[in-house]
Amino acid sequence: MVEAFQHLTISECQRLLEGHEASSVEITRAYLAAIERVESRIRAFIGLTPELAMEQARNADAKLAAGTQGALTGVPMQLKDVLSTRGVPTTCGSRMLEGFLPPYNAAVVERLYDQGAVLLGKGNMDEFAMGSSTENSAFHTTHNPWNLDRVPGGSSGGGAAAVAAGECVYALGSDTGGSVRQPAAMCGVVGLKPTYGLVSRWGLVAYASSLDQVGPITKDVADCATVMNAIAGHDPRDSTSMPGERADYHHGANDGLRGLRVGMPREYFSEGVDPEVRSVVTEAVSVMEGLGAYVDEVSLPSTEYALAAYYIIAPSECSANLARYDGVKYGLSAPASDDASAMEVTRSLGFGAEVKRRIMLGTYALSAGYYDAFYLKALKVRTLLRREFDDAFQRFDVLASPTSPTVAFPLGERTSDPVQMYQSDVCTVPANIAGIPAISVPCGFADSLPVGMQLMGPALSEAMLLRAAYGYEQATEWHLARPPL
């Protein structure tokens, strides 16, 4: 029974549930059993919620019996532990929030619960979403299901690993500089970063508020559209939430690639990208061309400054956002020592090395005498990058690139070299800086590990991106590959 349900897509779950071939209780039990079987090797969860899952599954079966179900009713999922869940610990992978019980659900969690979704547990992550390998979690390291000695990517590594390993049907992650797309690529699944403001950030614990977005991690593109239908849309509680009608992201998915204009930014295929990864992605773009897409090269010159700008903007915002963890209002609270105040001791004990590093970087960049030289200059680069994307989208519908410059690297290989670790985000951070949507889809293997192709589009072009990704996916079989656990 476990094996029969373990790698279901959302669409397959829907068919089983609506056809009364299986109940949500049966499917949920099978996924809890799958977690018990493989979790000791993957470690994709920070915490499990089996009692809540079974209660939600029974409620979902009641909805199905009454004919009042939604597209995600009864489908087991994982939530990144940066999303507030009422009565369920939300730690952000940090000792600072260990055991913290939020009094409310994040907006996206409300929307999933309203549909009758089933929560299996909270996903492991780099502390406060700061990392590219899920090795910065204060609790444990997550392993890549394709090779247990490799990282799953980050910071939403728990979600990508769980979906790939068949521990849940889909997951929600957050993406500040690639934290949904990069682990999706490294684990061979689909990950989407929506347009900034399209999905509510209310209840998402903030890292960098002008960059953060919630996005789905799924087994295929159709599932990605289904989750987006549930979570996208205006939320008055989020001041950055876009107004407007909610879209149907399945619309136009079957229109194919004929006539689609695909640009290949040369800066994303240059030195620094592993030759095998470059070759696999180039071949994937050739497949798109063979399906009727028009393909040509394009240049985005400011891309070379994007990573540097990101690692000024994001730490600057995090230094302000994380100032709230003072040991007074919530989270860890340590007593003063002879040498330090209670707040100093709390922050020293509660934050890990990478979080401290980024707080210090951001505080320095915002300090008197350096604001103009660093932060203001980074904002100017952001403006240049946005303009270059706008110009490129005058010629092209989507831009294609590698999602990650390498496949999943060995555990521990980059933990002592932050700059090398930051390079993992070189292909993904530009989309966050510009606020545009981007999706990663499996497109092959290099060194026996998954490779993801990233497709980027102009603001609010999610339907176009999903159409392009779906057209490519249906012409290939990479999304059907499963790790040999």
Angle in degrees, CA 294, 300, 305, rounded to 5: 150
Q: Would you call 155 a catalytic residue per the annotation? A: yes
> Which positions ≥6 away from 146 have C-beta within 8 Å?
164, 187, 188, 408, 448, 449, 450, 483
Instruction: Please tell me the distance from the alpha carbon of residue 31 to that of residue 12, in angstroms, as a whole number.
Output: 14
> Which positions ≥6 away from 103 have C-beta within 8 Å?
86
> Which positions ≥6 away from 356 have C-beta within 8 Å?
none
Instruction: Please tell me the distance from the alpha carbon of residue 391 to that of residue 384, in angstroms, as a whole number.
Output: 11
Burial (0-12, 13-18, 19+ Cβ within 10 Å), 448:
exposed
Active-site pick, 94, 132, 155, 401? 155
**Helix 275-290 to helix 462-474 angle, to the nearest 10 degrees?**
90
CA separation, residue 436 to residues 28, 67, 121, 137, 176 (Å): 35, 37, 30, 28, 12
Angle in degrees, CA 206, 209, 211, rounded to 5: 115
> Which positions ≥6 away from 170 have C-beta within 8 Å?
10, 75, 77, 78, 163, 216, 217, 218, 219, 223, 227
Strands 261-265 and 398-402 come out as parallel
- For residue 372, how many other CB atoms are within 10 A of its CB? 9
Burial (0-12, 13-18, 19+ Cβ within 10 Å), 271:
exposed
Q: Would you call 80 a catalytic residue per the annotation? A: yes
Active-site pick, 24, 133, 137, 179? 179
Instruction: Please tell me the distance from the alpha carbon of residue 53 to that of residue 51, in angstroms, as a whole number.
Output: 5
Q: Would you call 299 a catalytic residue per the annotation? A: no
Terminal CA-to-CA distance of the chain, rounded, Å? 16
Instruction: Please tell me the distance from the alpha carbon of residue 448 to that of residue 326, in angstroms, as a whole number.
Output: 46
Q: What is the 3-state secondary structure (H, E, C) of 216-237?
A: EEECCHHHHHHHHHHHECCCCC
Catalytic residues: 80, 155, 179
